[in-house]
Structure formats: structure tokens, C-alpha cells
Amino acid sequence: MRALLHAASLDNMVGSVLGLEHHDHHGGVISDMGDMVREGYELVGKFNLGDYYSTTQYQCLWGLLDFHGVGPRCQRLAARVREQFGRVMEERRKVSDLHKRDDLLSYMLSMPQEERIEDSDVIAVLWEMIFRGTDVVAILLEWAMARMVLHPDIQSKVQEELDRAVGHRPMTDSDIPNLRFLHCVIKETLRMHPPGPLLSWARLAVHDTYVGKHLVPAGTTAMVNMWAISHDETIWGDPWVFRPERFMEEDINVLGSDLRLAPFGSGRRVCPGRIMGLSTAYLWFGRMLQEYKWAAAQPVKLTECLRLSMEMKKPLVCHAVPRSKTG
């Protein structure tokens, strides 16, 4: 399922962020975006010994330690991103109805002059949205579907809720608030398998300090371990059990206001695309379960592998049977 979910997520993100669609003859651009995203994923997961040395103190040594050529590949990717996104921006500036379009790029280009940011910053924002957004939605849904084939009783419960709240018509965004148990399943998936186990809001200790009884030496970079928090038995009852009902008992906000489960971060460093990503996950997950009954085509292994995000080490392979044929 991974390849299909990534392709669908990329199309969705490119459409929302850049306003490009395959049927608008932009298939080549979207394909190039996919190549760049995949290259970025591979580079993030590459081990590079040079990363463990300061580039200011060991600049000449850094290149020698880059056995896999990560540095030059990153430079080539950055140049390609600037060129491709710059071309899309120049074409968009020629559009007469810029203010009427609902994609992020058009919004940023139509802002008042005094509020606009440099093109290089626009490109950075657009690339970050597509690069991270594509990955997170696809990985979250793969974990959620893995849980559904492992827990057919929970899958049936979600489908029963969909039948009651939506009926035979296709689920839409407006149905999402009425699907409480579906929300719980996605939240429980985020708890057990947070896509970003180490949150990006890091802090640097400027002097020796103590956190509880632990010494944190000056120069230490401290990060929030969301994976550890979401599996802490002092916070969660039966943390290793997949039990969506826990969120029926207590409704926990996952958008950053409750640090027991903040998979998208919190505060000023919170993920800017969290609402769009979560809404997409709710809708696609609901649509997939509304239309099909899912079963494992190969043994499901929940072994985790950290690359850009925490993904399944062995990709999920499923059988999808139309529910109309299952009665």
C-alpha cells in the first residue's frame, strides 16, 4: 500500500500547495516533484559520519568523511528545488485571477506588498509543506490500515459508524465531526506510532543544568521524545495495547494543546500543516473503510524503522474486497 499512499498523498499536497493537477497537463511537474521528494527521503536516511563533526572546526575533514556523497547530492537537490519551484512561481505570477485561486502558492503571491516574503523563503515554505506533508499522511494511513487488518473487530466498528452517519453516499469533509470512533482510531494510531517520534522543537543547554536528578551538560541539544511519552505507563493505561476506546473515555486534543499526545509539536514550532494533514487522514481512512473490507495479503509486522518519519520496516500488503460483495 505504501507506494499507492505516497503517490496519492503527493498529488494531494501538490494540488493544495501549488494548485497543480495531473488533468491540467502538469503531470510532468508533479512527477519531478515526486522524484525530488524521494531523493530527499533517501538523503535524510543516509548515515553520514561528517554529521558528527562541526563544519566550522573540521570543514576540510567533513568532506573526506562523506563516504556516500550526501553533501553534493543535497546541494544538487537544493538547486533542483529552487529551479523547479522558481519556474512554477514565475508561471503563476502571469495568472490574472491569482487572488481567486485557493492554493497556498497563489495566496502567498497575492499578499500585500508590505507582507510578502522573499522568493527564497516562499520556496522553503512550499518545499517543506510538500516534503513533510506527503510523508506524514501516507505513513499515518499505512499504520492505521495495518491496525485495521490486525484488529478486524475495530475495523467493523468503524464501518458500522460510517454506515450510520454517512450511509451509502461517499463520505465528505462535512461528515468528519460526526465520526467520533474514526477519530479515536486515528488518535490511537498516532499514539502508538507517532510519525515524528522526536519532535523538532529542540533546545540547547547554554550552561550545565539539572532536569530532575539528571545532569544536562552545556552544549547538549534536548529534544522531546513523543514516542516515549505516548508509551509511558504512568500516563497511559495499557500503553502497548491498541485500544481506540480510550479516547472515547477522555477526548484528548492532538493538535498541540495537550502534551500527552502532541505528534505535530506545540507552541510556535507546531507543524503548520497539521490541520490539513489530519483532515486528509480522516477523510481517506474513512473512504477506504467505507468502500472496502481489508485483510492482510502477507503477514503484518509492526517493526518500526526511522527515516524521515517512523515508518513500517516491512511495507503493508493488503487485500481489498468491495463491501458490496461481502454483504
Residue listed under C-alpha cell 534536548: 222
State the burial class of residue 272 (Cβ atoms within 10 Å of its Cβ: 0-12, 13-18, 19+): middle
The three cell numbers of residue 213 are 536528578
Strand ranges inside 83-192, DSSP E: none
Three-class secondary structure of residue 49 per DSSP: helix
- Measured CA to CA, the distance from residue 238 to residue 216 in angstroms comes to 31
- Measured CA to CA, the distance from residue 111 to residue 103 in angstroms comes to 13
**Helices 119-150 and 274-291 sit at what angle, rounded to 10 degrees?**
30
Contacts of 313 (CB under 8 A, 6+ apart): 301, 303, 304, 305
- Measured CA to CA, the distance from residue 31 to residue 130 in angstroms comes to 13
271 is in an annotated binding site: yes
DSSP 67: T
Contact yes or no for 165/226 (Cβ under 8 A)? no
CA contacts within 13 A on the Cβ side of 154: 21
Contact yes or no for 252/186 (Cβ under 8 A)? no
Positive or negative: CA dihedral 53, 56, 61, 63: positive
The DSSP element (H or E) to which 6 belongs, if any, is helix 2-18
Nearest partner of 175 among 275, 287, 274, 250, judged by Cα = 287
- Measured CA to CA, the distance from residue 264 to residue 230 in angstroms comes to 13
Contact yes or no for 269/275 (Cβ under 8 A)? no
Annotated binding site: 271
Annotated binding site for heme: 271
